[in-house]
Structure formats: C-alpha cells, structure tokens
Amino acid sequence: MSKSGKRYNEIELTRDGQSTYDVDQAIKLVKTNANSKFNETIEISLNLGVDPKQADQMVRGVVNLPAGTGKDVKVAVFARDAKAQEAKDAGADIVGSEDLAENVRSGKIEFDRVISTPDMMALVGQLGKILGPRGLMPNPKLGTVTDNVADAVKSIKGGSVEYRVEKAGIIHAGIGKADFTEEAIKSNVKAIVEAIQNAKPTGAKGTYIKNISLTSTMGVGVKIDPNSIIN
C-alpha cells in the first residue's frame, strides 16, 4: 500500500462515513485530518435539489468570505487608459486590452479571475470559447463587468468567491486554508451556505440544500448537518 493510501485510510478511520456532524464538529475533524506537509485548502461541497439544465434552476453568484480565502488570487483586467491605471493601482496582476486578448488566444492564461470594463466586452466576447469553459468569462451579474474596476479588483483580492452549480447539482468552492482558525472557517462556511440559500431559484422544488460536506485537499469528505448552519 502506498504512503498516500495508508494516510487516507488512517484519516477514514477518524470519522464515521455514515454520520452527519454539526458544523463545529465537522470543522474540527477536517482541520485535525489536514496534516500534510503543505497548507491544505479547505473545500465545501453542496448537493442541491435543482436541475441546472433548466433555465429557472441555475444557481450562480458571488459571495464575500469574511475571513478571505487564504489564496493569492491572480486577477486580469481588460481595460484601457484611465481605467487600466485604476486597475493597476488597485492591485490587478495583469491589465491589458488587445495584447491581453492575444495572450488568451495563444493559451497564456496566467490568472484566476477576469474583470472587464463594459466598453471592452466586444473584445472579451470574442474569447468566450476560451474563457467560458474555464469559468472565467466576466459577467455583470457577478460584478466582473464594471466601470468600477478598483472596487472589483479589491473585492476579489479580499476574498470574494464565485460559485456555480454543476451538471449534477453540485457546487464546489474553496473557502480557506487548513491553518485558518475554526472560527474563521465557520464564518466562511456560513457565508457561502447563506448566499446559496438566498440564491434559491424559483424553479427549485422539494429539498433545496440536500447535503453539505467539508474536506481538505488530501482529506475525506465530512458531512455537515445543514440545520447547524441554516437558521
């Protein structure tokens, strides 16, 4: 048995795979098991009672995590002139227009999030087949198509996270690092769960949030009782 397999099995023994824990117990368990040699990412998964293929059941949005993500998010901004300078002054990692578009076309995508001023969307729209599948396409509903590029950059750098339901009705999101305090992780868990709860689409029927689980990069999923988060 490999060392990684042995470690996984040892972690598995610390939890009951059939059990559901309250949020505090789950966080403690995940943090205890996140004992790799690197600072593991804490991830949340939510199984929703929606069919994303239906237009009235899509769940997508952005939420500001109060404790941040613990990740250095690289932000690219499509802007010109004064707006380009605003983006640079706010801490954007890459700022450009046609030159940035050409980098994207050539496969040079060295960023995690994209912002665009409205006047640049004709250019950015041409990159939809590249940015879209990667979840990088700017969207006015998510605050990433805006003239207020400075605030958008600061928001993303400060810990805003986009979430989007996948085909199977699952949302995955990184919400912190293993070295975060339990309270910091809990505040982020509550923020994203409440945001998704508030984003419940009109077409959703029956139980909306079916399951919630928390894990770390090298850990196993720990189920959380939604009632311990949602009031």
pLDDT at 11: 46
Q: How many CB atoms lie within 10 A of CB 118?
A: 12
pTM over 0.75? The answer is yes
Amino acid code (one letter) for 15? R
Nearest to 71 by CA among 167, 212, 165, 174: 174
Calpha distance 126→186 (Å, rounded): 40
Residues 149, 83: contact at Cβ < 8 Å? yes
Identify the CATH number of the domain defined by range 75-158: 3.40.50.790
Q: What is the pLDDT of residues 181-231, one digit of tens each?
A: 999 999 999 999 999 999 999 888 889 999 999 999 999 899 999 988 886
Q: What is the domain partition of the chain in residue ranges? A: 17-69+160-228, 75-158
Residue 147: pLDDT band (50, 70, 90) is: very high
- Say which residues have a Cβ less than 8 Å from residue 176's Cβ, sequence separation at least 6: 41, 42, 65, 67, 68, 69, 70, 184, 185, 188
- Element of type H or E holding 9: helix 3-12
Could you check whether 17-69+160-228 and 75-158 share the same CATH topology? Answer: no
pLDDT at 218: 92
Q: What is the pLDDT of residues 13-41, one digit of tens each?
A: 445 555 899 999 999 999 999 988 999 99
Which fold would CATH assign to domain 17-69+160-228? Ribulose 1,5 Bisphosphate Carboxylase/Oxygenase (3.30.190)
Calpha distance 190→99 (Å, rounded): 40
